[in-house]
């Protein structure tokens, strides 16, 4: 068996496979299937200061090659996350490595959330700053597609917490490498990419959009070639660890991201198809490494010929 230890600067994981925020809830339901502490990390659904109801239903539609979602960042708010039975206290109790995805509607709110999480950071391994969600009209979309605002958000969060910072980048920009440089310059320890790409699906019988929000974020296996290319671009633009995601369904998909320069990967849409998907990705990575006589996953990071 190969060494799957994943070194992400100040953060070391037992393996390089985590869950993508928004696709794994807060881990409680999935723990009924397997011990989620076996994952490299659980990245929880986005947290802001106050509870958020999200968008009207229907909010998810299966489409060719993946799915559309317009959940709208529904969440319990930071206080419930910190103290609610099925949130951070549960994750601590099962010893899951926990990364908290966080967001705000204003720059100031990002800072407030970061400070609140930092104040009770026991059991929190890192923060992931969501500046890239395309489904929220106020907040995320503007921060993720404006270089100045992206820099300001990350700078403020960096000043409010000592935890390792990951910034989740939006693919909906002309040059994603420029945004990677901007957030790293502002203090981000890592970057993760990509988030969903805006899409739309129409029911031709009713002539209505298939989700109530009309448009939503497209994710799934059809997204993978775009994600691999963007990870490759970013890995060559910055000198911090890159976490790759977008259409990973199995171990072979993950290997592509490592070869492109990712140090870790996140499994998203596959969790909706198979609750064991992330564990199967871990097994698939190990099978590939053993088959090729490679002792450690670190040996294939950026090893594209």
Q: Please tell me the distance from the alpha carbon of residue 13 to that of residue 31, in angstroms, as a whole number.
A: 19
Q: Which of 4, 6, 82, 133 is catalytic?
A: 133
Specify which residues 102 forms β-bridges with: 47, 129
Known active-site residue 6? no
Both tokens of 134, joined, read 């395309």
Q: Tokens 């909906």 sit at which residue?
A: 172
Both tokens of 116, joined, read 């609140």
Are 182 and 205 in contact by the 8 Å Cβ rule? The answer is: no
DSSP 158-214: HHH--S-EEEEPPS-SS-HHHHHHHHHHTT-SEEEE---EEEE-EETTTTEESSTTS
Q: Please tell me the distance from the alpha carbon of residue 162 to that of residue 160, in angstroms, as a whole number.
A: 7
Return the active site residues.
133
């Amino acid at each position: 068996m190969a060494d799957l230890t994943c070194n992400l600067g100040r953060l070391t994981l037992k393996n390089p496979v985590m869950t993508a925020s928004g696709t794994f809830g807060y881990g409680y339901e999935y723990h009924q299937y397997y011990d989620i502490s076996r994952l490299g990390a659980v990245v929880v659904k986005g947290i802001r200061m106050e509870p958020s109801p999200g968008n009207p239903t229907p909010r998810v539609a299966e489409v060719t090659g993946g799915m559309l979602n317009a959940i709208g960042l529904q969440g319990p708010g930071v206080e419930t996350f910190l103290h609610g039975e099925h949130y951070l206290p549960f994750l601590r109790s099962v010893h899951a490595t926990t990364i908290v995805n966080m967001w705000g509607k204003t720059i100031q709110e990002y800072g407030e959330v970061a400070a609140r999480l930092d104040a009770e950071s026991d059991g929190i391994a890192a923060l992931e700053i969501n500046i890239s969600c395309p489904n929220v009209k106020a907040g995320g979309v503007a921060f993720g597609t404006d270089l100045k605002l992206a820099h300001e958000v990350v700078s403020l969060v960096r000043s409010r917490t000592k935890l390792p910072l990951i910034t989740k980048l939006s693919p909906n920009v002309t040059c994603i490498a420029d945004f990677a440089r901007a957030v790293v310059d502002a203090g981000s320890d890592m970057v993760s990419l990509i988030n969903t790409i805006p899409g739309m699906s129409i029911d031709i019988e009713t002539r209505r959009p298939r989700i109530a929000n009309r448009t939503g974020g497209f994710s799934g296996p059809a997204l993978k070639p775009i994600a691999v290319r963007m990870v490759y671009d970013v890995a060559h633009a910055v000198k911090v660890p890159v976490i790759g995601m977008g259409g990973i369904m199995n171990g072979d998909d993950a290997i592509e991201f490592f070869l492109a320069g990712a140090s870790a990967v996140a499994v998203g849409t596959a969790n909706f198809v198979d609750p064991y998907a992330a564990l199967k990705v871990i097994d698939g990575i190990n099978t590939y490494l053993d088959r090729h006589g490679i002792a450690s996953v670190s040996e294939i990071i950026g090893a594209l010929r």
